[in-house]
Amino acid sequence: MPNANRIDGKAKAAELSKIIAQETAELSSEHDLKPGLAVVIVGEDPASEVYVRNKKRTAETCGFHSVQHTLSADASMKDVLGLIDELNTNSEIHGILVQLPLPEQLNENLVTQSITPEKDVDGFHYENIGKLTAGDTDKAFVPCTPAGCMLMIEDQLGRDLSGLNAVVVGRSNIVGKPMASLLLQANATVTICHSRTKDLPAVCREADILVAAVGRPAMVKGDWIKPGAVVIDVGINRVEEGGKSKLTGDVDFAAATEVAAAVTPVPGGVGPMTIIMLMSNTLRAARRANGLT
Protein backbone atom coordinates (compact mmCIF):
# COMPACT_ATOMS: atom_id res chain seq x y z
CA MET A 1 0.00 0.00 0.00
CA PRO A 2 1.69 3.25 -1.12
CA ASN A 3 2.00 5.74 1.72
CA ALA A 4 4.39 8.43 0.52
CA ASN A 5 3.37 12.00 -0.19
CA ARG A 6 3.54 12.78 -3.87
CA ILE A 7 5.33 16.13 -3.91
CA ASP A 8 3.44 18.20 -6.45
CA GLY A 9 6.06 20.42 -8.08
CA LYS A 10 3.60 21.55 -10.71
CA ALA A 11 1.13 22.91 -8.14
CA LYS A 12 3.89 24.59 -6.13
CA ALA A 13 5.33 26.18 -9.27
CA ALA A 14 1.85 27.48 -10.18
CA GLU A 15 1.54 29.09 -6.71
CA LEU A 16 4.96 30.70 -7.04
CA SER A 17 4.12 31.90 -10.52
CA LYS A 18 1.18 33.89 -9.11
CA ILE A 19 3.41 35.50 -6.48
CA ILE A 20 6.03 36.40 -9.09
CA ALA A 21 3.35 37.83 -11.42
CA GLN A 22 2.02 39.94 -8.53
CA GLU A 23 5.50 41.24 -7.66
CA THR A 24 6.17 41.95 -11.33
CA ALA A 25 2.96 43.98 -11.59
CA GLU A 26 4.02 46.00 -8.51
CA LEU A 27 7.47 46.57 -9.96
CA SER A 28 5.88 47.82 -13.13
CA SER A 29 3.42 50.19 -11.45
CA GLU A 30 5.78 51.49 -8.74
CA HIS A 31 9.06 51.62 -10.65
CA ASP A 32 8.08 51.40 -14.33
CA LEU A 33 10.29 48.32 -14.53
CA LYS A 34 9.63 45.05 -16.35
CA PRO A 35 11.96 42.06 -15.78
CA GLY A 36 13.49 41.03 -19.10
CA LEU A 37 14.62 37.49 -19.90
CA ALA A 38 16.56 36.57 -23.05
CA VAL A 39 16.78 32.92 -24.02
CA VAL A 40 19.37 31.89 -26.60
CA ILE A 41 19.00 28.61 -28.46
CA VAL A 42 21.46 27.31 -31.04
CA GLY A 43 20.28 24.73 -33.54
CA GLU A 44 17.09 22.68 -33.59
CA ASP A 45 17.34 20.07 -30.84
CA PRO A 46 13.66 19.07 -30.27
CA ALA A 47 14.05 18.62 -26.47
CA SER A 48 15.76 22.03 -26.17
CA GLU A 49 13.00 23.62 -28.24
CA VAL A 50 10.37 22.26 -25.82
CA TYR A 51 12.30 23.58 -22.78
CA VAL A 52 12.76 26.99 -24.38
CA ARG A 53 9.07 27.21 -25.33
CA ASN A 54 8.07 26.39 -21.74
CA LYS A 55 10.46 28.99 -20.34
CA LYS A 56 9.16 31.67 -22.71
CA ARG A 57 5.54 30.81 -21.89
CA THR A 58 6.16 30.96 -18.13
CA ALA A 59 8.05 34.27 -18.49
CA GLU A 60 5.05 35.73 -20.29
CA THR A 61 2.65 34.38 -17.65
CA CYS A 62 4.74 36.15 -15.02
CA GLY A 63 4.44 39.41 -16.99
CA PHE A 64 8.10 39.56 -18.07
CA HIS A 65 9.56 41.03 -21.23
CA SER A 66 10.67 37.82 -22.91
CA VAL A 67 12.81 37.44 -26.01
CA GLN A 68 14.14 34.39 -27.79
CA HIS A 69 17.22 34.40 -30.03
CA THR A 70 17.53 31.38 -32.29
CA LEU A 71 20.91 30.87 -33.98
CA SER A 72 21.53 28.32 -36.69
CA ALA A 73 23.15 24.98 -35.79
CA ASP A 74 26.41 26.03 -37.51
CA ALA A 75 26.73 29.30 -35.54
CA SER A 76 30.32 30.19 -34.63
CA MET A 77 31.73 31.22 -31.25
CA LYS A 78 31.99 34.74 -32.66
CA ASP A 79 28.23 34.74 -33.44
CA VAL A 80 27.26 33.48 -29.99
CA LEU A 81 29.68 35.68 -28.04
CA GLY A 82 28.64 38.69 -30.13
CA LEU A 83 24.99 38.12 -29.23
CA ILE A 84 25.80 37.65 -25.53
CA ASP A 85 27.84 40.87 -25.58
CA GLU A 86 24.83 42.72 -26.91
CA LEU A 87 22.52 41.19 -24.32
CA ASN A 88 25.00 41.91 -21.52
CA THR A 89 24.68 45.64 -22.26
CA ASN A 90 20.97 45.74 -23.12
CA SER A 91 19.23 47.54 -20.24
CA GLU A 92 15.86 45.89 -20.98
CA ILE A 93 17.37 42.44 -20.38
CA HIS A 94 18.07 41.39 -16.79
CA GLY A 95 18.53 37.65 -17.26
CA ILE A 96 20.31 35.71 -20.01
CA LEU A 97 19.99 31.98 -20.49
CA VAL A 98 21.77 29.92 -23.12
CA GLN A 99 19.99 26.61 -23.60
CA LEU A 100 22.39 23.69 -23.26
CA PRO A 101 23.66 21.47 -24.78
CA LEU A 102 25.32 23.51 -27.54
CA PRO A 103 26.49 22.10 -30.89
CA GLU A 104 29.98 20.57 -30.90
CA GLN A 105 31.83 23.50 -32.50
CA LEU A 106 30.91 25.74 -29.55
CA ASN A 107 32.78 25.84 -26.24
CA GLU A 108 29.99 25.60 -23.65
CA ASN A 109 32.15 26.80 -20.81
CA LEU A 110 33.40 29.89 -22.64
CA VAL A 111 29.84 30.75 -23.62
CA THR A 112 28.53 30.32 -20.07
CA GLN A 113 31.36 32.38 -18.58
CA SER A 114 30.78 35.22 -21.08
CA ILE A 115 27.40 36.05 -19.53
CA THR A 116 27.85 38.88 -17.04
CA PRO A 117 27.41 37.48 -13.48
CA GLU A 118 24.65 40.05 -12.78
CA LYS A 119 22.53 38.53 -15.60
CA ASP A 120 23.58 34.92 -15.05
CA VAL A 121 20.14 33.70 -13.96
CA ASP A 122 21.18 30.07 -14.54
CA GLY A 123 23.88 30.49 -11.88
CA PHE A 124 26.63 28.86 -13.96
CA HIS A 125 29.17 31.73 -13.87
CA TYR A 126 32.18 31.03 -11.65
CA GLU A 127 31.45 34.17 -9.65
CA ASN A 128 28.00 32.84 -8.73
CA ILE A 129 29.33 29.32 -8.12
CA GLY A 130 31.98 30.83 -5.82
CA LYS A 131 29.40 32.78 -3.82
CA LEU A 132 27.19 29.71 -3.46
CA THR A 133 30.07 27.52 -2.37
CA ALA A 134 31.21 30.16 0.12
CA GLY A 135 27.71 30.17 1.62
CA ASP A 136 26.82 33.62 0.28
CA THR A 137 23.53 32.45 -1.23
CA ASP A 138 21.79 35.79 -0.72
CA LYS A 139 24.15 37.38 -3.22
CA ALA A 140 24.55 34.43 -5.62
CA PHE A 141 22.30 33.33 -8.41
CA VAL A 142 21.70 29.72 -7.45
CA PRO A 143 21.26 27.21 -10.33
CA CYS A 144 17.53 26.78 -10.89
CA THR A 145 17.15 23.00 -10.54
CA PRO A 146 18.82 22.65 -7.13
CA ALA A 147 17.11 25.84 -5.93
CA GLY A 148 13.73 24.32 -6.84
CA CYS A 149 14.63 20.99 -5.18
CA MET A 150 15.59 22.84 -2.02
CA LEU A 151 12.20 24.57 -1.78
CA MET A 152 10.46 21.19 -2.02
CA ILE A 153 12.78 19.72 0.65
CA GLU A 154 12.07 22.71 2.92
CA ASP A 155 8.33 22.13 2.54
CA GLN A 156 8.79 18.60 3.83
CA LEU A 157 11.46 19.07 6.48
CA GLY A 158 11.80 22.77 7.26
CA ARG A 159 14.76 25.06 6.57
CA ASP A 160 17.12 23.57 9.12
CA LEU A 161 18.26 20.07 8.18
CA SER A 162 20.50 19.61 11.24
CA GLY A 163 21.13 15.98 12.08
CA LEU A 164 19.84 14.68 8.73
CA ASN A 165 21.89 12.71 6.21
CA ALA A 166 21.54 13.87 2.61
CA VAL A 167 22.84 11.81 -0.32
CA VAL A 168 23.13 13.40 -3.76
CA VAL A 169 23.65 10.96 -6.62
CA GLY A 170 25.35 12.85 -9.47
CA ARG A 171 28.17 15.42 -9.36
CA SER A 172 27.43 17.69 -12.33
CA ASN A 173 28.10 21.42 -12.06
CA ILE A 174 24.48 22.10 -12.97
CA VAL A 175 22.73 19.87 -10.44
CA GLY A 176 24.76 17.59 -8.16
CA LYS A 177 27.43 19.98 -6.85
CA PRO A 178 25.20 23.03 -6.24
CA MET A 179 22.56 20.75 -4.69
CA ALA A 180 25.16 19.46 -2.25
CA SER A 181 26.23 23.05 -1.40
CA LEU A 182 22.65 24.06 -0.61
CA LEU A 183 22.04 20.99 1.56
CA LEU A 184 25.29 21.60 3.42
CA GLN A 185 24.33 25.19 4.02
CA ALA A 186 21.03 24.00 5.50
CA ASN A 187 23.11 21.94 7.99
CA ALA A 188 22.56 18.49 6.46
CA THR A 189 25.42 16.00 6.52
CA VAL A 190 26.04 15.54 2.81
CA THR A 191 27.45 12.70 0.72
CA ILE A 192 27.94 13.12 -3.03
CA CYS A 193 27.90 9.93 -5.13
CA HIS A 194 28.83 9.33 -8.76
CA SER A 195 29.69 6.57 -11.19
CA ARG A 196 32.79 5.53 -9.17
CA THR A 197 30.98 5.23 -5.83
CA LYS A 198 31.31 1.83 -4.19
CA ASP A 199 28.07 0.11 -3.13
CA LEU A 200 25.76 2.95 -4.12
CA PRO A 201 22.61 1.20 -2.77
CA ALA A 202 24.15 1.00 0.70
CA VAL A 203 25.10 4.68 0.67
CA CYS A 204 21.61 5.65 -0.50
CA ARG A 205 20.01 3.60 2.30
CA GLU A 206 21.60 5.97 4.83
CA ALA A 207 19.85 8.99 3.31
CA ASP A 208 17.10 10.90 5.09
CA ILE A 209 17.10 13.07 1.97
CA LEU A 210 17.95 11.36 -1.31
CA VAL A 211 18.43 13.41 -4.48
CA ALA A 212 18.90 11.46 -7.72
CA ALA A 213 20.43 13.44 -10.61
CA VAL A 214 21.94 10.83 -12.88
CA GLY A 215 20.01 10.36 -16.13
CA ARG A 216 19.34 6.59 -15.81
CA PRO A 217 15.71 5.50 -15.84
CA ALA A 218 14.48 3.97 -12.54
CA MET A 219 18.04 3.32 -11.34
CA VAL A 220 17.15 3.97 -7.68
CA LYS A 221 15.17 0.94 -6.48
CA GLY A 222 12.74 0.76 -3.58
CA ASP A 223 15.23 -1.15 -1.41
CA TRP A 224 17.84 1.63 -1.85
CA ILE A 225 15.54 3.98 0.08
CA LYS A 226 15.53 4.43 3.84
CA PRO A 227 11.99 4.13 5.25
CA GLY A 228 10.60 7.63 5.76
CA ALA A 229 13.13 9.38 3.50
CA VAL A 230 12.35 12.38 1.31
CA VAL A 231 13.24 11.49 -2.28
CA ILE A 232 13.81 14.11 -4.98
CA ASP A 233 14.01 12.76 -8.50
CA VAL A 234 15.78 15.16 -10.86
CA GLY A 235 16.23 12.70 -13.74
CA ILE A 236 14.43 13.19 -17.03
CA ASN A 237 14.67 10.12 -19.23
CA ARG A 238 12.71 9.36 -22.36
CA VAL A 239 11.75 5.68 -22.52
CA GLU A 240 9.59 3.53 -24.81
CA GLU A 241 6.66 1.77 -23.16
CA GLY A 242 3.96 -0.15 -25.03
CA GLY A 243 5.05 1.45 -28.31
CA LYS A 244 4.78 4.94 -26.79
CA SER A 245 7.47 7.32 -25.66
CA LYS A 246 7.18 8.70 -22.11
CA LEU A 247 9.25 10.60 -19.55
CA THR A 248 10.51 8.88 -16.45
CA GLY A 249 12.86 9.75 -13.62
CA ASP A 250 15.95 8.17 -12.06
CA VAL A 251 13.85 6.65 -9.25
CA ASP A 252 11.48 3.68 -9.44
CA PHE A 253 8.54 5.87 -8.42
CA ALA A 254 6.03 3.11 -7.61
CA ALA A 255 8.52 1.27 -5.40
CA ALA A 256 9.67 4.50 -3.75
CA THR A 257 6.14 5.42 -2.70
CA GLU A 258 6.00 2.18 -0.66
CA VAL A 259 9.01 3.17 1.45
CA ALA A 260 9.62 6.93 1.41
CA ALA A 261 7.78 9.66 3.29
CA ALA A 262 7.62 11.84 0.19
CA VAL A 263 8.68 11.53 -3.45
CA THR A 264 8.68 13.85 -6.45
CA PRO A 265 7.06 12.42 -9.60
CA VAL A 266 8.47 12.72 -13.13
CA PRO A 267 6.98 14.60 -14.87
CA GLY A 268 5.38 17.14 -12.52
CA GLY A 269 8.05 17.34 -9.82
CA VAL A 270 11.42 19.04 -10.27
CA GLY A 271 10.85 20.17 -13.90
CA PRO A 272 8.22 22.87 -13.26
CA MET A 273 10.12 24.06 -10.17
CA THR A 274 13.26 24.55 -12.27
CA ILE A 275 11.43 26.86 -14.66
CA ILE A 276 9.84 28.93 -11.91
CA MET A 277 13.20 29.38 -10.17
CA LEU A 278 14.50 30.84 -13.42
CA MET A 279 11.72 33.42 -13.19
CA SER A 280 12.51 34.08 -9.56
CA ASN A 281 16.19 34.66 -10.42
CA THR A 282 15.22 36.99 -13.29
CA LEU A 283 12.96 39.04 -11.03
CA ARG A 284 15.81 39.33 -8.52
CA ALA A 285 18.22 40.33 -11.27
CA ALA A 286 15.84 43.09 -12.43
CA ARG A 287 15.46 44.44 -8.90
CA ARG A 288 19.19 44.38 -8.25
CA ALA A 289 20.02 46.06 -11.56
CA ASN A 290 17.79 48.92 -10.43
CA GLY A 291 19.10 49.19 -6.89
CA LEU A 292 16.03 47.58 -5.30
CA THR A 293 16.26 44.82 -2.71
Pick the closer one to ligand NAP by CB: 33 or 123: 123
Q: How far is the CB of 287 from ligand NAP (least distance, A)?
A: 24
Pick the closer one to ligand NAP by CB: 65 or 125: 125
Which candidate in 99, 131, 177, 252 is catalytic?
99
Which parts of this chain interact with ligand NAP (CB under 6 A)? Answer: 145, 169-172, 174-176, 193-197, 200, 213-216, 234-237, 270-271, 274
Q: How far is the CB of 168 from ligand NAP (least distance, A)?
A: 9
Q: How far is the CB of 202 from ligand NAP (least distance, A)?
A: 13
The Cα–Cα gap between 115 and 88 comes to: 7
Residue 8 known to be catalytic:
no
The Cα–Cα gap between 204 and 210 comes to: 7
Pick the closer one to ligand NAP by CB: 85 or 223: 223
Residue 105 known to be catalytic:
no
Q: How far is the CB of 215 from ligand NAP (least distance, A)?
A: 3
Pick the closer one to ligand NAP by CB: 208 or 233: 233
Which candidate in 55, 131, 177, 226 is catalytic?
55
Residue 55 known to be catalytic:
yes
